[in-house]
Amino acid sequence: MNDSLNEEQLSKAAAIPEIVDLKGVVQRHHVLDQNMFDRLLIRKKISIAQHSAACEFIHLLEIAGAFLKSHNLEPGRTRRPGHKVGDDIGSRIMSMSACLRRVKKEASDEAADALIRCCYGLVTDLEQVRAGLDVLTLQFDTGCLRDPRDLFTV
């Protein structure tokens, strides 16, 4: 990769270099693991507080098993009785569903649906997504975060 990226940046993002000029001197990097909320933050369509709340919600979805990549297929786990597995799955799903219930209660059903669609990378109504993210900002208490890019604008 490019020397302009430090070790921490290299470890956090999956990026591939692309050669821009014919000699291969100038390169730019394409991020592979960017989600819809990252794109909205970069375009300043949502705030950093909303983005942090969205990241927390996506994390809860991964814990609940909503994404295929979130399943653990590693061998070596101890065998557990079936009723314990059901309890674990139920508690993981309940943590995510509590957030969705709050979004449906305080915003609307359409906002909750738009939020889920956006988590899966589907284009949806931005106003509904913002309404859902405002509720999640209260749920995860990320309202105090400020965008550092606003400090440097002239």
Residue 21: its pLDDT value, please?
A: 80
Q: Position of tokens 């139920």?
A: 90
Phi and psi angles of residue 5, each rounded to the nearest 5 degrees, phi first: -95, 130
Percent of the chain with pLDDT over 70: 67
Contact indicator for 44, 83 with CB cutoff of 8 Å: no
**13 and 80 fall within a common domain:** no
**94 and 135 fall within a common domain:** yes
User: Is pLDDT of 83 > 70?
Assistant: no
Tokens of 125: 């109504």
**49 and 24 fall within a common domain:** no
What tens digit of pLDDT does each residue of 35-82 get?
Answer: 889 889 888 999 999 999 999 999 888 877 766 554 454 555 556 655
**124 and 69 fall within a common domain:** yes
**109 and 124 fall within a common domain:** yes
**26 and 42 fall within a common domain:** no
**78 and 111 fall within a common domain:** yes
In the chain, how many domains are there?
Answer: 2
Residue 105: its pLDDT value, please?
A: 95
**41 and 58 fall within a common domain:** yes
Residue 39: its pLDDT value, please?
A: 87
Give the number of other Cβ atoms within 10 Å of residue 107's Cβ.
20
**121 and 54 fall within a common domain:** yes
Range of the domain at 23: 1-33
* Confidence label for 91 from pLDDT (cuts 50, 70 and 90): low
Residue 29: its pLDDT value, please?
A: 72
Tokens of 29: 């990097």
Chain-centroid distance of CA 61 in Å reads 9
User: Is pLDDT of 15 > 60?
Assistant: yes
Higher pLDDT, 31 or 69: 31
Residue 1: its pLDDT value, please?
A: 40
- State the pTM of this model: 0.69
What tens digit of pLDDT does each residue of 92-146 get?
Answer: 667 778 889 999 999 999 999 999 999 888 888 999 999 999 999 999 999 888 8
